[in-house]
Amino acid sequence: MINRREALQFLSRRVTDQIVVATYSSATDWLDIIDRPLNYFSSGAMGLASSHGLGLALARPERRVIVLDGDGSLLMNLGTLVTIAQVAPRNLTHLVFQNGTYEANGGHPIPNQGVDFEAHARAAGMRDTFTVSTLKDFEARSETILAADHLVFGCIKIEQGPLGPRSYKEMYRHERRMALREALAH
């Protein structure tokens, strides 16, 4: 199993002009590791990170959009896999971090902790998919994650992270979203 923070630290050292859409525990770690205008933290209904990412990918086809999703979040919006596969933007990478728990909500298990998200993605119509459970394998996928010229879906098997209470106030500040909008205007 992969430590999510270590995977994100690796990704943070290689990210350049990509837009990163992160949600809940992934967002907490990502913001702590790398604070940049091209981060987007999707407030609102749980499960919509990939939908936000799809919209950004369509709006800005010249930039790659990387979605850092959670397994509990994705389960709330499984239809998004079908929608995204139908649209198939060439500049979208959808990563789901699977630890089998609602980590941001007390660590309760998700329904069927062994659910195969890659199989779901493939059945939805995605072609370039992968599942990794070691940091070495994750690192080996970095070129695909960051710079592929097609839709990518990846399932990252991770350990459960810390369960402590989280504050999203800083993450969801209006100024952050305006900074993203400003960065995308140029």
Q: Which residue has the tokens 């509990």?
A: 72
DSSP string, 140-179: HTHHHHHH-SS-EEEEEEB----------TTTT-HHHHHH
What is the token pair recorded at 72? Answer: 């509990």
Under a CB-based contact definition with an 8 Å cutoff, are residues 156 and 96 in contact?
Answer: yes
- State the binding string over 8-37 for another protein (x if CB under 8 A, else -): -------------x----------------
At 64, give phi and psi (nearest 5°). -85, 140
The least CB distance from residue 8 to another protein, in Å, is 21
The least CB distance from residue 26 to another protein, in Å, is 16
Q: Which residues contact 84 (CB under 8 A, 6 or more apart)?
A: 50, 54, 92, 94, 124, 126, 151
- State the binding string over 114-133 for another protein (x if CB under 8 A, else -): --------------------
Q: Does 80 bind another protein (CB under 8 A)?
A: yes
> Which residues in the 42-61 window bind another protein by CB under 8 A?
42-45, 47-60
Q: Does 98 bind another protein (CB under 8 A)?
A: no
Which residues of the chain form contacts with another protein (CB under 8 A)? 21, 40, 42-45, 47-60, 77, 79-80, 82-83, 86-87, 174, 177, 180-181, 184-185
